Structure 1
């Protein structure tokens, strides 16, 4: 017998009679939590992320990471266009903490700054809306490309990403790793 509670309140007597003799049974236990990222069925998580327009869904690898990305997406959408949203997105997809360097440029050749490649020598009028992200851990070139595609969705529309850099090295010159192009030498 089917569950008559699934019928609408304005059901007709005929619909109630058909439901009473029907052998169709539905498991509705998972429907209650469709809009809850914590309790939603794993098979429905892609649809929940699609409905909430979640950035970084495909980059989350585990079920817990996907749930965390969905939970964080509401706050990320609320704070889009801020450095906080950039940090939250990068943290949510599992790249850890980052440092955002804004206004990359505006340095002159007057001997007051150390020339370490961090800032280009360009006038501030041309580079005021630029930023660079420094990650604490290395990422692959494929991850960097994906991150470059995700950042415009949460970064301020007027700003342009000029570089991704990481402080830790992925490979050392000790012969233990092959150079196959997966990683680079500190910036992507």
Structure 2
């Protein structure tokens, strides 16, 4: 008895399809129901789900949570594709907090219909691959008229700010010998004057003169 329904002249592709469809009965029904759910789809099938959802930027090296979030946000990105919100949402799916500066908002104003991107890269390694990923994602979500002129990576550190202050003061005291305070004495004033006179007489003795 033949196990195949295909005729003997069936092609190799037709036989491969027959073998594949024959195994569908072995696939649990809950797996089939989860195929279109980005949060429940089996991880090996995520690239195929991303292709079916028209995800513009995909990298198998992304963490699993990032790949699922990109697929989940695909519809909302495509719903507003060509707007500033689409660019921000597409980059947010990759974990970037983004600020778009369009040409009238720049200082000084830039060339018409241009814009630049400032991306908070906190928690991401800033490499050439990072810039390339941001550029591809922004170009895929922007409108055709606008032109991306620059990408600026901004690193932000969130931490508690503690301030401290100290005040130091002192006195310098010099200790010297004790000096009595000023002494005032009141009373009658008596003056005395002493004068002494001394006379000296010298007597010389000798022979009497000869007559």
TM-score class, shorter-chain normalisation, is 0.5 to 0.7
- 1:133 to 2:134 alignment: no
Structure 2 unmatched runs, 5+: 1-21, 157-211
Q: CA RMSD in A?
A: 2.9
Report the 3-state secondary structure (helix = DSSP H, G, I; strand = E; otherwise coil) of the residue aligned with 2:48: helix
Q: CA offset at residue 155 of structure 1?
A: 0.4
Q: How many residues align?
A: 132
Whose relative contact order is higher, 1 or 2, with alpha carbons under 8 Å and at least 6 apart? 1
CA contact (8 A) 2:114 2:146 kept: yes
Partner secondary structure for residue 148 of structure 2 = strand
Q: Output the CA distance in 1 between the equivalents of 2:23 and 2:54.
A: 38
Corresponding residue for residue 28 of structure 1? 28
Equivalences for 1:104-115 in 2 at 5 Å?
none
SS at match of 1:58: coil
Q: Distance in 2 between matches of 1:24 and 1:120?
A: 62
Equivalent residue runs for 1:1-188 within 5 Å? 26-29=26-29, 30-58=31-59, 61-95=62-96, 97-103=97-103, 119=107, 127-137=111-121, 139-168=126-155
Aligned equivalents of 1:103, 1:150: Cα separation in 2 = 20
The Cα of 1:60 is off from its aligned counterpart by: 6.5
Whichever of the two has the greater Rg, that structure is 2
Deviations 1:29-72 (A, max 9, x none): 41121111121111111100011111232176111111111000
Contact kept in structure 2, 1:135 and 1:164, CA below 8 Å: yes
1:36 and 1:24, CA in 2 relative to 1: closer, same or farther beyond 3 A? Answer: closer
Q: Report the Cα offset of residue 166 of structure 1.
A: 2.3
Q: Distance in 1 between matches of 2:66 and 2:109?
A: 40
Asked whether the 8 Å contact 1:83–1:155 carries over to 2, the reply is: yes
What SS class does the counterpart of residue 163 from structure 1 fall into?
A: strand
Please list the CA deviations of residues 117-156 of structure 1 after superposition, one character each: whole Å capped at 9, or x if unmatched: x74676xxxx110001111226322211222222222101
